[in-house]
Amino acid sequence: MGKFWQRISTPRLIAQFGWLVFANALLFGVPSFGTIAWTRNIYFPDATTKFLQNAPTYSIVYKLQDTLEGGFITYYMDLVIPLLIFVVLILLLGRFWCAWLCPLGLPQDLLTRLRRWLGWKRVELPPKWSVALHQMKYLGLFLVIFYTLSLGFPGLGLPGFRTSLAIPYEQLDPNRAMYVYPQIALGLLPPNTIVPILSLLTFGFFLMTCFPIRRFWCHICPAGAMMAPFNKYASIHLKKDNSKCTHCGICARVCPMEIRKVWTEREKENVTVSECVHCYRCVEECPEDGCLGVSVMGKVVLESKSPNSELTNTKEGVAT
Amino acid sequence: MKIFGRRKSEPEAVDNAGSVAVERRYVPVKVKERMTGRRDKVVREAKEKIRVETEKIRAIPNNPESLDHFLEIGDYFGKRSEEIIGFKNKGGKVVGTFCEFVPKEIIHAAGAIPIQLSCGFSEAIQPANDLLSDAGLCPLMRSSLGTMMTGSSTYYEASDMMVNPTPCDAKLKMGEIIQDLVPVVTMNVPRIKDSFSARKQWIQEVWNLKERVEELVGKKISKKALRESIETYQAAQNAWRKFWDVRKRGNVIWGRQALLVSWLTYIDDIKRWTKNINKLNAELETRVKEKNFVCGDDTPRVMLAGSPIIWPNWKILNLIEESGAYIACDELCSGMRVLWDHTVVDEWTQKGMMDAIADKYFLPCTCPCFSPNLERETNMLRRIKEYKIDGVVFHVLKGCHLNSMDAAKTSVFLKKNDIPMLKIESEYDEGDREQLRIRIEAFLEIIQTRKEDLPF
Ligand code: SF4
Ligand code: SF4
Ligand code: SF4
Ligand code: SF4
Ligand code: SF4
């Protein structure tokens, strides 16, 4: 709680915008940056930014499907370094990417903000549904990997698809429809860049679902699925002091990913689950002092505060 | 899935549980007249009791000045009564409530006055006994019922409607009786709360209450009014937490004074209450700075748990504190818990606000009516640590099975944590006073010895 400058959501929004504008679109989007070799080798976990021709923040999902032309050995060898970078990043940050940097997370948050501003109520996903959706994203990821592998193995006789349908996920990605037009307008992409029809459709779907439902896309995002299994073991995680929890359910109600675990946990200290996108709404709204917190390498950097705590100076005049 | 279906009252099917008294089963039509003859006696006794207890609190040396307001409101037959009568004469509606469960935000938002009816008049028990012919039932319920039947409290008389949650059998069946006398909204409290359906049902009950309150006042509760009401209560909740922060920092106010302040959240106008507790907080804060404490650190620190203690029935509190202990904190629904939990709204839509209100009264509630009620355990252990409690007094009103059984469970986990506990059972009248005193004094001696024996 507290005023907007005391809320963690504010720096988060700024970071999201900053990353989108400066890192993705302006800085690295400028051709001269794109030619620096090492920046080309940073692979981020998201399913985005293929639209930025020069951007280094290049998706590992695309990478999986990208250079099939190169033949079996080069192709899989090319994947080693990006995957390593990816795993190291995940183990450091978990899905921190999702709520703070992902260019597909920001529009979802903005849609939610818009709906709130209009005063429309949200559509609630019944717990069973959100669990089912969470499972579905693994199916999406499986399909991506399966497709890639089967094209990659020369023996399977599917080389025809390498040219006709090289990167199917690119066709589906709502990012294409969302960002290519602004990019063209900014002169970052040539005006004849094609936006796949499918992408327009998924973008429509994206708008329709993410407006009434908080972070709907993240429920089914295959890039999220890649990061999810590592989330719990990341050096940055949510921690809970179970002795202070009143089980008020507020953390579950404010969670855009409909995570109930933070609320229902009674024993463990680490309450990060694979779906958590590290938005820290729960930490922001939990009304008990020091009950929820964010710990980075074992150090607590953010803690929940009682709503009255800005009125009180607890250090002063301690008795006993 | 309705994506754009909005602007509809929510949820579609509001049931009308408890809206009609099917038939007059318990109370003969004439009961009110028959009982009114006994009104004078009840009122006389109650007034006397309030006077005595108020005097006792005033007589405590070093009374905080800002407590005066609360003592004034504590007089059920004084200022607040007049205000309520005045409000009613101007066409306002009064909604009586029982228990901690009733979302007062909603009543407040409708422009009606919520007022707590659970009753502490000991003399009113007899009339209820005559009706029920069972003296083994919960005295809180019997006292409320007796007061209602004899018409001896302005608050009862003024209530246009009563809201009766049904956490326990006593309240459930009492609701059935009072339905014969006044419209009652029954709220079904799901007693196993950790399922999705239970939460949904409770939210539905809260919507139902909203609908009934709207019917009563004859207009819809607007989004703006609801928001303002929630914010009013949030301010009160903040002030209340601050009060407990100050209590944590020094022994600046006795438990019997603190519990009066907490009980009056149910009675006083909430804005005025907030203003006054802020004043009290400021005064206590200076006391902490001046180290102007009401008792030393060597005083045994007791936590009071169990059945609610309702003004002016201050017997247990007086016994404990007059025997030389300090009630450092409590976990009563008439005490610390009244405003502790926060109404945190995620989205300020009608639905978002209603969800927040419903959750606030339901999920963190430690009422013994819930099972398995781990929340109570966590809460007690947390308070014991925070307020450096030496021993727990578990108070059970005779006939309150829920608390009595929770006491057994509590003693087990307290033993595990090496905290002594005393379970006492009491009635409203003074008959058991001496016997209780002996037990409490013996218990305090035990904790005193333990305290001195500690190695540091
Ligand atoms: S889960 Fe959401 S935030 Fe994370 S990568 Fe996918 S779209 Fe972006
Ligand atoms: S918001 Fe905080 S106190 Fe409430 S259930 Fe979640 S962790 Fe517990
Ligand atoms: S659990 Fe907390 S940090 Fe994770 S997604 Fe939910 S609200 Fe955000
Ligand atoms: S203990 Fe529970 S049922 Fe009993 S009065 Fe308190 S809130 Fe109501
Ligand atoms: S004291 Fe116990 S029996 Fe009496 S109304 Fe409250 S919960 Fe019910």
Domain boundary among B192, B217, B236: B192
pLDDT of residue B18: 45
Domain membership of residue B207 (yes or no) is no
- Judged on CB neighbours under 10 Å (0-12, 13-18, 19+), A272 is buried
Lowest mean pLDDT among A77-86, A88-97, B218-227: A77-86
CATH number of the domain within which B135 lies: 3.40.50.11890
pLDDT of residue A14: 92
Chain B partners within 8 Å of A248 (Cβ) = 341-342, 344, 359-360, 363-364
CA of B110 to the centre of ligand 5 (A): 28
Q: At A31, is the pLDDT very low, low, confident or very high (cuts 50, 70, 90)?
A: low
Q: Are B438 and B318 in contact (CB under 8 A)?
A: no
Judgement on whether residues B186 and B250 belong to the same structural domain of the protein: no
Question: What is the C-alpha radius of gyration for chain B, rounded to an integer number of angstroms?
Answer: 22
Q: At A62, is the pLDDT very low, low, confident or very high (cuts 50, 70, 90)?
A: low
pLDDT of residue B453: 74
Domain boundary among B144, B168, B192: B192
Rounded CA-CA distance A112/A257 in Å is 13
Judgement on whether residues B351 and B444 belong to the same structural domain of the protein: yes
pLDDT of residue A41: 55
| Structural domain of B44 | 12-192
Rounded CA-CA distance B374/A19 in Å is 44
Q: Looking at ligand 1, which atom is closest to the CA of residue A47?
A: 5
Judgement on whether residues B285 and B374 belong to the same structural domain of the protein: yes
Judgement on whether residues B20 and B94 belong to the same structural domain of the protein: yes
Judgement on whether residues B157 and B235 belong to the same structural domain of the protein: no
Judgement on whether residues B231 and B328 belong to the same structural domain of the protein: yes
Rounded CA-CA distance A193/A293 in Å is 45
pLDDT of residue A154: 64
pLDDT of residue B135: 84
Q: Which ligand is nearest to the CA of B368?
A: 4
Identify from B193, B292, B347 which residue to disrupt to test chain A contact, counting A C-beta atoms within 10 A and taking the largest count: B347
Overall number of domains in chain B: 2
Q: Looking at residue A270, what DSSP letter applies?
A: B
More confident call, A81 vs A305: A305
Cα-based angle A21, A27, A28 (whole degrees, multiple of 5): 105
Chain B partners within 8 Å of A311 (Cβ) = 238, 242
Domain boundary among B192, B214, B238: B192
Judgement on whether residues B143 and B271 belong to the same structural domain of the protein: no
Identify from B8, B238, B240, B366 which residue to disrupt to test chain A contact, counting A C-beta atoms within 10 A and taking the largest count: B238
pTM: 0.90
Chain A partners within 8 Å of B197 (Cβ) = none
Reported as a single tens digit per residue, the pLDDT across A203-225 is 999 999 999 999 999 999 888 88
Judgement on whether residues B298 and B441 belong to the same structural domain of the protein: yes
Domain membership of residue B208 (yes or no) is no
Judgement on whether residues B240 and B355 belong to the same structural domain of the protein: yes
Q: Which ligand is nearest to the CA of B364?
A: 2
pLDDT of residue A24: 61
Domain membership of residue B362 (yes or no) is yes
Q: Report the residue among A276, A286, A291 best suited for mutation to probe ligand 3: largest number of ligand atoms under 8 A from its CB.
A: A276
Query: If DSSP codes are grouped into helix, strand and coil, which group holds residue B189?
Result: coil
Find the DSSP H helices in A49-126: 60-66, 72-93, 96-100, 105-118
CATH number of the domain within which B362 lies: 3.40.50.11900
pLDDT of residue B196: 85
Judgement on whether residues B237 and B178 belong to the same structural domain of the protein: no
Domain membership of residue B341 (yes or no) is yes
Q: Report the residue among A243, A244, A248 best suited for mutation to probe ligand 2: largest number of ligand atoms under 8 A from its CB.
A: A248
Judgement on whether residues B271 and B390 belong to the same structural domain of the protein: yes
**Mean pLDDT (10-residue bins), chain B, 456 residues:** 44 44 57 74 92 94 92 92 94 94 96 92 88 88 90 91 94 88 91 89 95 94 96 95 94 94 95 96 94 90 95 93 94 93 93 95 94 92 94 94 94 94 93 93 92 69
The rounded percent of chain A whose pLDDT value lies above 90 is 39
Q: At A104, is the pLDDT very low, low, confident or very high (cuts 50, 70, 90)?
A: confident
Average pLDDT of A288-305?
93
Reported as a single tens digit per residue, the pLDDT across A115-144 is 999 999 999 888 888 889 999 999 988 887
Domain membership of residue B200 (yes or no) is no
On whether ipTM exceeds 0.95, the answer is: no
Q: Are B377 and B366 in contact (CB under 8 A)?
A: no
Domain membership of residue B7 (yes or no) is no
Rounded CA-CA distance B102/B185 in Å is 10
Domain membership of residue B1 (yes or no) is no
pLDDT of residue A80: 77
Q: Are A97 and A16 in contact (CB under 8 A)?
A: no
Domain membership of residue B152 (yes or no) is yes
